[in-house]
Structure 1
Amino acid sequence: MSNKTDMERVGLFQEMNYHTIGDRYVPPGSISFNQSAGKGKQVLPGGTKDRSALQHGYFGEKYNRVFEGESYTDPIKRRRQNRLKESQKNIGKPFLPSNGDKKPSGLGNHYGTLTGPIGAFSPVSKGGKGNTGNGKNVLTNPGKKGTGFGYVGVTLGKYQNHMPDEYDRAKQITKKINGDHRKALKGGAFKLNMHAQSYFDANPYRSDRPLPPVKSSGGKRREVKPFKQSSPPKSMAGMKAGTFDPYPSHSADPYNVKITRPVHVVNKTGKIFMPSPGPKSFPMSSVVNTNVDRSMNKQNYKAVTGVMSY
């Protein structure tokens, strides 16, 4: 456990005062949350009302009209007055056609139209050719018996004639065409002597002739044999039999590890040096809490009026 006191753990330089010493015990339910709710007359609403044609559900005692004292307006009369007012703007007499419109006298009648009757829509029947009888049916040979597979002369068309064909006929035709083409040629292929050449000169050390065979040196060829171990390899184990050197013998070490002890540092008075402690934290209250504590504390909390009414 730590040897520090409680004051050193908190980080305070002085012991705070205890403000609850000597106070009388106050039960939790003795102070009401809203004291104004039980004092004086309270607001009592009248309750809900059903919808009806009466004036009970409204705040006013009399139903007020939107336009109080307005006169009756006849829409038909206003429309007639507007028509007379617009007719006064016309100059002269109204336009009348030279002849009145004609009413149709019946379905299919062209009376009253501009073009008259149309011949394409005439109901009169046209004179056509006389009725001719049907011709004779197509006469065919009776059907031949058999399915047609493996039989000659049972199909609608004529059977194909057999014509002999050589096996290499296509190859012979191609060979003949190539031979006629070679006979028609005169001389070799045309080669242009003005072809593009490289900018730099050609390699002077290059030769079109093949190189001579490489001459072999007169020295004798050395025979190289693979390395072969004198004995097969040995597997690794605790006895160290697979190493080149034998396992060294174990000997006791005459020297021990020296233990370094810390230096005992003391001051002039002979005590151990203890550094001064650093700054310690201190609990601080906010500005809002400070104002609340000053305005309402244990001395005047009964005299403070409630902010809310419920």
Structure 2
Amino acid sequence: MPAEGKSDLERIGLFSEMGYVTIGDKYVSQYMRPFNEAASKNRQMLPGGSKTLSALQEGYFEPQFVRIFDGEAYSNPVQLRRRYRLAEAKKNLGKAFLPSNGDKLPCGKGTYYGTIGGPFTYFSAQLKARERYIPPGKNFYTNPGKKGTGYGYANLTIGEQYPHEADGYELEKLIAKKAREEHKRLVKGGPFKINLYPQDYFDVNPYFNDKPLPPVKKPPPEKPIAPPFIPSSPAKKVSLSYSYWKQRMNIQIFLVKSFACST
């Protein structure tokens, strides 16, 4: 295989299989690809730029304004509106109606002031005429009415007063108590118990003991503690008199003299 150029296998094409990914063209990066290559070759058409819509003729291809329809009549919308207003004004027979004294404002709710027809009798709040009301007669009285509702007071009803009958506060409990006492009176003995009744090997109460308890030991008598000594009166302060200071000065003089003699 030569160092440069194609090999025999590449030139002749024997023993080679076409690739499935590419056709063999070289890869060109997207940054190196030319954009609009025709714009950079040969001469280019340079127009004068875009023109905005205006009242001038330079934005059109014709040198003068040409009508689309040949022989079309010219119409002015302002003139047409003016003619319409004049034609409508001729229909008026006279001047506009103006009231003599202006509009009347209402002076309250429900008033007919300022209206054309005036008030209506159908909407009046006055009642219709009717016969005089005669109340029915009262019931006869055998005795003047007594004040109060009668609850909790005696001799306020028409008939006789009900007799008082005592009612026990706990009547059911009293009846049940009497029934139990009567039942106990009829019972001759206690419940029947046989000796073969099965019992547990151990007592139910583990702290149960048939032996009597020993006598309670009395605690030793406590030795009374002597109360602390409390003086009858507080300590007295010693006042330093003139004799004390004089004696102290004599001692100091004696010490000074003895020190001088020793030296």
Q: Give the TM-score band, short-chain normalised.
A: under 0.3
| TM-score, normalised relative to structure 1 | 0.20
Task: Pick 1 or 2: higher relative contact order, CA cutoff 8 A, min separation 6.
Answer: 1
| TM-score, normalised relative to structure 2 | 0.22
